[in-house]
Amino acid sequence: MSEPLKIEMEGQLGSATDALPLVEASRCTGASCDATAAIDFAGRSLCLDHFLPTCIAELESRNDRLRTLSFDAAATEAFKTFIANCAKQAKKLAEDPRFTQAHTKTSLLDFLLRISQLTQHIRRSQRTMSAVPIWLRREDPHQTWHEETWTVSVSRHGAALLCRRPVEKGGTVVLCRKDKGSRATAQVVYSLRDSEGRKQIGVQFCDPINFWDLD
């Protein structure tokens, strides 16, 4: 019989460590459940029936948090690692002779399908297009300016843009696509110098729009 597995999570968006076997067999800590724990997830020993929904809920809540942080590449990578680890555990469990019941296999396969959908969704929402030409306008009453620039990357929720003028976090800018003429108001969420020494800002759209025509 294979040993139960352990998935550890560190911090809100931290990376998941490798699976660690549990030292001793334990009972599921799910509500009024007396089954043997199959996996240790986020510090809780859980049976398979309790692990899958708990893991899905965690994946979805992390996904939601990531969506509001649109440009955190490190957090996105950590989330991908976490998803990959969850998938690895689910695959191991699916091959585990202790879980031969048809409904268990079905829920594991459903789980793996859900995970692959989430992964595809991340890929889509983080998809980058190189250099969309933009008119960038600052409309603060004290400093109105505009400049022609390009995006570095785009997502459903905003974009990273090159910006020569100083613009502070929290400032409002208007983006106008030079190729289509469409406009959107966005808020600056970061301002930094990129690895090539260029000034770059990250902006998040004020309204939910599909500005980049992502599918």
Binding site for Zn ion (CB under 5 A): 28, 30, 33, 35, 47, 50
Q: How far is the CB of 6 from Zn ion (least distance, A)?
A: 16
Long-range contacts of 51-58 (CB under 8 A, 24+ apart): 52/90, 52/107, 52/108, 52/111, 54/30, 55/86, 55/90, 55/111, 56/111, 56/114, 58/9
Q: Rounded to the nearest 5 degrees, what angle is found at the Cα of 180, between the Cα atoms of 176 and 183?
A: 30
For residues 28 and 167, which CB has a smaller minimum distance to Zn ion in the complex?
28
Nearer to Zn ion, 28 or 52 (CB): 28
Q: Are strands 158-162 and 172-177 parallel, antiparallel or unpaired?
A: unpaired
> Among residues 111 and 212, whose Cβ is nearest to Zn ion?
111
Q: Residue 117 CB, nearest distance to Zn ion (Å)? A: 25
Minimum Å gap between C-beta 47 and Zn ion is 3
Is 6 within 8 Å of 39 (Cβ atoms)?
yes
- Smallest gap from residue 5 Cβ to Zn ion (A): 15
The residue (of 25 and 84) whose beta carbon lies closer to Zn ion is: 25
Shortest Cβ 107–Zn ion spacing (Å): 13
How many other C-beta atoms lie within 10 A of the C-beta of residue 58? 16
38 or 167: CB nearest Zn ion:
38
